[in-house]
A and B are shown apart, each in its own frame.
Chain A
């Protein structure tokens, strides 16, 4: 893929309770981003939103946030659920040549104003899973975790190791909602079980938050930023809904989405060609599971890689140097934040968590129970 779409800038907000309204959050993110770039809404020709009507408690919810983003009398469309899909969709409008400047805004207030677990309950098959009342986001994730640990021959403690690395990175990232100083494996292991093997600190925290990102054509990128981050490849894939039909020890959707993105970006050996990865792992086990599925870690060798520090900020294959979704999961925005955090690394602005050589990065987003759907983008300088 030629260099046709660039990230010109982004803004992230996340907290357990942002003490705000959806409209105010969208305004603050979008206006802040325009101010960062020294432009007004007149420069933006397309707006893509990403939210969930069920979680917002109102249908066609983006009609309220359009004007707040500056989208009055502009093209406005909405993507449901994960924001990385919104980024891919928005990029297509630029690649097609119709638009030069597109604002993508994703958000939810699932820390203070709606339960993050409820929307998964309502995504389940109403005539079967909802009747049995056994499946929910946490029980499904626990089954996936157990399946992954068993297949890889990994001890349960791998989850503590992964969570400790993520929470350490999250503590050093001001953009995260859950920031615990000096969190130890012991403290993680001491947190209560939800569904075994998943404990509280292996799971994402309910989060208010959002992300605004400005995507621009090559022509506009030169005008707007000295540090464009280019979209080099993208791919998506959707697995079957039924958990009992899937191999939960891996993720077919992530593997295929990554394969498609690698093909577009001309990446042959992702483990050596990528400098870092931001992965939408909502639970500790999903990070190595998805990394293995996408060819970033060798299958069955994840525990050794984490123990050796390969996945740390200063390691060979840094994974979630931002701290990842264990630090914040504002549903709908989480995948878009992965791309923004990857861009922050590529721009060399990640502060304490800066990866030394950051030239090419992967961002992953997911939706559905146990990553039924995955989206992957490859970004580069």
Chain B
């Protein structure tokens, strides 16, 4: 058969629809806590682990976690990476400057949270103590907890 050159078509039904997700009572309570600059976790009554952000079930015990508990605003940077790119809609672009994101374990929490770190890549150390930095104006949304910085 004769060789032909393919072209690309964009589908006539575009994939720019919107999904709406109910946040759920546990994450809603976490975000409401942000209005008072508080970080809430949920505690499992069986294994005693406190997870942050709070979620309804303890995966290991398969039980509902009924107790909310406020966590301290300080913790440990357990692990980090220096980002040199940003991913936007599946394409990576070089970042204007390297930046640090890492896993922060708040004191008393059983799990770590992924967070932005206000520290230069050269100064970031696994094991360093860090503290939460809030936006001046808090609105009860994820962005209120701006980043963590060395304590």
Contacts and interface: CB of A to CB of B under 8 A. Distances in A.
Chain A complexes with chain B: yes
B81 A118 contact: no
B91 A195 contact: no
Interface of B: 6, 8, 11, 15, 19, 21, 23-24, 27, 51, 53, 59, 79-85, 87, 89-92, 101-103, 105, 110-116, 121, 126, 142
A313 to B, nearest CB: 32
A21 B79 CA distance: 42
A132 B21 contact: no
Contacts of B82: 193, 195-196
Nearest to B85: A194
A127 B27 contact: yes
A197 B112 CA distance: 20
Given A126-B21, A138-B87, A244-B103, A194 B92 contact: yes
Nearest to B82: A196
A64 interface: no
A127 B23 contact: yes
Contacts of B91: 115, 117
A132 B114 contact: yes
A117 B87 CA distance: 8
Interface string A116-143: 1110010000111101101111110011
Interface string A194-205: 111100000000
Nearest to A129: B114
A282 to B, nearest CB: 15
B15 A57 contact: yes
Most buried by B among A118, A126, A196, A240: A196
A134 B11 contact: no
A192 interface: yes
Contact of B85 (A116, A135, A138): A138
A242 interface: yes
A195 B79 contact: no
Interface in A81-136: 113-118, 121, 126-129, 131-132, 134-136
Contacts of A328: none
Contacts of A143: 79-81, 102-103, 114
B81 A196 contact: yes
Contact of A139 (B101, B105, B110, B121): B101
Nearest to B124: A196
Contacts of A194: 83-85, 92
Contact of B19 (A57, A126, A137, A244): A126
Contacts of B24: 127
30 contacts: A19-B6, A21-B6, A57-B11, A57-B15, A115-B91, A121-B90, A127-B24, A127-B27, A128-B53, A129-B114, A132-B114, A134-B115, A136-B87, A139-B81, A139-B83, A142-B83, A143-B79, A143-B103, A146-B79, A192-B84, A194-B85, A195-B82, A195-B85, A196-B83, A196-B84, A196-B121, A244-B103, A244-B111, A245-B51, A245-B59
Most buried by B among A57, A143, A193, A195: A195
Given A131-B142, A132-B114, A244-B113, A142 B81 contact: yes
Contacts of A145: 81
Given A139-B87, A143-B103, A194-B83, 15 more contacts: A57-B11, A127-B21, A127-B24, A128-B27, A136-B87, A139-B81, A139-B83, A139-B101, A145-B81, A147-B79, A150-B79, A150-B126, A193-B82, A242-B111, A244-B113
A238 to B, nearest CB: 11
Interface in A167-195: 192-195
A21 B24 CA distance: 41
